[in-house]
Structure 1
């Protein structure tokens, strides 16, 4: 098996010439036609593998790629020449995929028809192969365009790979993507959005804390990139929400593993992720208020509040402004450098060689995870001890801590498979706490959003409707009871770690 470290970027077709001009070196153009194979139930895909047979200038080759091989952008690869049109089962049996297929029939799932322009670039003491692919994926009668750039490190340090990527990004819009052609092809064949089925990080009992962080970071960054791509392609409430959650989860992960990484180069990435989430916040909050408060009232018969039409107009105006800001934050020139900086830090950041963190990096992942979960849960329970006495800001701080605990549980749970029922209770109670505290926060935030939108419009009827739609006291009481019950459950259940 060879270990390759590569970066993949989606590019606009019209940016291809600018990329090639910047790369400068002479190269070759090849025609690459590949067919991807799997079992009827897609066992290879579910196990994180992609199997293709490709015809190119070097003849016909069979290639098996794994989703990961130890690093953020490292992938396992098994490649060998073949003579027949389909996969060579004997060669496949010599790889980890042999036991997964286990004699089942392999059939074509999709094909890739690509023209590849190659450049071999020397940069920062490293040799990097740049491959510009243009063509399409084919699954039955369905087609999807391919326009992407791959940078593969041949020799030298990974930092040089990221430096070259930054240089190219400064000259053309590049969108970092952790979705392979195989994933996109499967999505096309199944009628899904690319990256919709990204698997959770694979964590094992024998992992060190640093290895677990890289595995989780890879997954979180991949989901962030998929969400940004989805928002750019089809803006809407779900896309805004998914990107905001992805940014928050990745930032929470950076905080969770701070004892392992220290503060080296982490703060800029964390601050940028916070800024991204904040830029998406108004669009998300307005989406929620319009869907859950204004629209039900506007569609009621008879309408319980006057001025709802005027308030609706004001909300739509505010929503359009908020979406403009959200799309600007997810645009390649803003999002691209952020994603690349996180990627570079995960794969080749200073934290990996910090002599003061050697012991922390080598701490068994289970030991590290148990300590962090214990600390986070203790903090949440302490802050929620006298819930009714907390003001809005204190409840909001509790909600943020609870959200951090929820993200930590989701990330670290695979390390503790021995108590599934306890895990289920912890997850459910924490989710209930977040729902209740989120509802209380939405009440206060929604009223403020509606008031601000009405004032910006300068319409007294809109302002009246905004005030009239404020939540009733009984709703607040119900949410408080639910939050207290969830905290009591968290206090009662035994740890799953």
Structure 2
């Protein structure tokens, strides 16, 4: 089995010449046509494998790749020459996929038709193969364009690979992608809009360093996939997914602060905060529109219709005023939401975000923490021992700070909510290290989420008045201001009710048994 370390970027087709101009080395051009196979229930895909038969200038080859053997950037690969267009089962029997297939029939799922230009780069003592792929993925009656750059480290220090990526990114937009052609092909064949990548469970025997790399790779994969999805088709769910991905990645770095406290890690953490903040206005408006304005508008419409049905005449002047005010405020909200989404899209499409992805990958794979002698003891510590200590610390802090929820200011409750969210992320990330108590794990996750949600509703209530006021003032429409005031009235009474619910969630959290 070979072991490869590579980076893949999505590029605009028109950027290919600018990229090739920066890559000096021996060139080869090939047409690579391949067909991917799987069982009828997609057992290979579910297990993290891609199986293809590819025709090229060196003949026909069968390749099995494992997306999870070494993480996002390093994949297991088994390749052999074959004679026919169908998979060779004798060769597959010598790979880990044999148990997955278990004698089941293999059928074509999708194909790739790609023209590949490769150049072998010699740089700073390293050898890097650059491959520019352009073509398409056909699957039944669907097609998807392919325009990618792959940089594979053949020999030398990993940092050189990332230095080359940064150099190229300064001359052409490179969007880091951690989704393979196989994953894109499956998503196309099965008509999956977002094609989420499953998390790779942690090995309970992992060291702390191994756990950080595995979780970091998954976090970066989530981030890049969510950014691609939002950029392709903006919407509330996709924006929320990207914002959560950024926050969850940042929370991971906080949990592993012992290994993630160098300047390069702090830079990545700061840039993740920048990204989440750029998405914040759009997310807050999405929540306000969905939870406050739209229900009010629907209720008003229903009441107007009921009134007409009962008395057979037009709504009263007062009701008409309510409708006009809600409509004016809705228009103002739409303007604000459009502006906020433009800001979010600009962030995702910016050189700053593209640099963030490369910097995060470089830190995960080639940061000083991976080899520094003074970090060796921390890296090699059993991950389960590290996780138990980290989870204990976060749990104790929440138990202490939440004792007097009613006495906390809205700001303090917000900070408590953030701590609850970080604990939940840590539990979801590290829970696999403790396989002996699955019921306790599920109960703890549920209790943590319930507390986080209860505090989240309180926080939403606290920020709604300011959001509504700012939107109404920006449009300078008195009717919009009137509706904004009506929709955010009754805050103290609602706050008291929500506090009772949050206190109940806190008690449930305190009583939840540890699983570690």
TM-score interval, smaller chain: over 0.9
1:354 pairs with 2:364: no
Instruction: Provide the rounded CA distance (Å) in 1 between the counterparts of 2:286 and 2:88.
Output: 52
In structure 1, how many angstroms separate the alpha carbons of the residues matched to 2:26 and 2:101?
A: 41
Contact 1:70 1:211 in 2 (8 A): no
* Aligned residue in 2 for 1:31: 31
* Structure 1 residue 367 corresponds to structure 2 residue 367: no
Greater shift after overlay, 70-79 or 385-394? Answer: 70-79
Question: Which residue of 1 is the match for residue 401 of structure 2?
Answer: 383
Q: Which runs of 4+ in 1 moved over 4 A?
A: 303-306
Q: Could you tell me the TM-score, scaled by structure 1's length?
A: 0.97
Given that residues 48 and 67 in structure 1 are in contact (C-alpha distance below 8 angstroms), is that contact kept between their aligned partners in structure 2? yes
Shift of 1:201: 2.2
**1:474 CA drift (Å):** 4.0
Counterpart residue number, 2:116: 116
Question: Aligned partners of 2:280, 2:268: CA distance in 1, in Å?
Answer: 18
Q: Distance in 1 between matches of 2:210 and 2:60?
A: 36
* Preserved CA contact (<8 Å) 1:198 1:223: yes
Task: Give the corresponding residue for 2:315.
Answer: none
> Does residue 218 of structure 2 align to residue 199 of structure 1?
no
| Whole-angstrom CA distance in 1 between matches of 2:123 and 2:273 | 32
Matched residue SS, 1:27: strand
Find the aligned partners of 1:72 and 1:199 in 2 and give their Cα distance.
Answer: 12
User: Partner of 2:297 in structure 1?
Assistant: 298
1:332, distance to aligned residue in structure 2 (A):
4.4
Cα contact 1:262–1:351 (8 A) shared by 2: no
CA distance in 2, matches of 1:278, 1:227: 16
- 1:268 matched residue in structure 2: 267
Do residues 64 (structure 1) and 83 (structure 2) align? Answer: no
For residue 59 of structure 1, report the CA deviation from its aligned partner.
0.5
Cα displacement (A) at 1:179: 0.1
Q: Does 1:311 align with 2:329?
A: yes
Per-residue deviation at 1:354?
2.2
How far did 1:72 drift?
4.5
Using the TM superposition, give the Cα deviation of residue 71 of structure 1 relative to its aligned residue in structure 2, in angstroms. 5.0
Structure 1 counterpart of 2:477: 459
Distance (whole Å) between structure 2 residues aligned to residue 94 and residue 241 of structure 1:
43
- Name the CA distance, whole Å, in 2 between partners of 1:284 and 1:47: 34
Shift of 1:78: 0.8
Is the deviation greater in 306-315 or in 32-41?
306-315
TM-aligned CA deviation for residue 382 of structure 1: 0.9
1:48-447 equivalence runs, <5 A: 48-70=48-70, 72-194=72-194, 196-300=195-299, 301=301, 302=303, 305=322, 307-447=325-465
Equivalent-residue separation in structure 2 for 1:349 and 1:145 (angstroms): 34
1:121: Cα distance to partner? 1.0
Decide whether the 8 Å contact of 2:451 with 2:505 is kept in 1.
yes
Q: Which residue of 2 aligns with 1:9?
A: 9
Flag the structure with larger Rg: 2
Aligned to 1:481: 500
The answer to whether the Cα contact below 8 Å between 2:72 and 2:221 also exists between their aligned partners in 1 is no
For 1:490 and 1:311, the matched residues in 2 are separated by: 39
Cα distance in 2, alignment partners of residues 104 and 471 from structure 1: 63
Contact 1:62-1:82 within 8 A present in 2 as well: yes
Contact kept in structure 1, 2:260 and 2:266, CA below 8 Å: no
How far, CA to CA, are the matches of 1:292 and 1:264 in structure 2? 40
Unaligned runs of 5+ in 2: 305-318
CA–CA separation in structure 2 for the residues paired with 1:471 and 1:187: 46
1:24 Cα deviation (Å)? 3.2
Bigger shift: 297-306 or 214-223?
297-306
Contact 2:72 2:178 in 1 (8 A): no
Q: Is the 8 A contact 1:72 1:343 kept in 2?
A: no
What do the CA deviations read for 1:134-173 (whole angstroms, capped 9, x no partner)? 1111111111111111000111111000011111111111
Distance across 1 between alignment mates of 2:113 and 2:430 = 40
Cα distance in 1 for residues equivalent to 2:254 and 2:383:
16
Cα distance between partner residues in 1 of 2:364 and 2:263? 11
Counterpart position of 2:467: 449
The answer to whether the 8 A contact 1:413-1:423 is kept is yes
TM-score (norm 2): 0.94
Residue 121 of structure 1 aligns to a residue whose secondary structure is strand
Secondary structure in 2 aligned to 1:442? helix
Structure 2 Cα separation of the partners of residues 331 and 6 of structure 1:
23
CA-CA distance at 1:25 after TM superposition: 2.8
State the alpha-carbon separation in 1 of the partners of residues 376 and 156 from structure 2: 23
* Shift, 1:492, TM fit: 1.1
8 Å contact from structure 1 (residues 34, 52) kept in 2: yes
Shift of 1:26: 4.1
Q: Give, in whole Å, the separation in 1 of the partners of 2:263 and 2:464.
A: 38
Contact 1:432 1:482 in 2 (8 A): no
Moved more, 321-330 or 384-393: 321-330
The offset of 1:359, in angstroms, is 0.8
Aligned to 2:20: 20
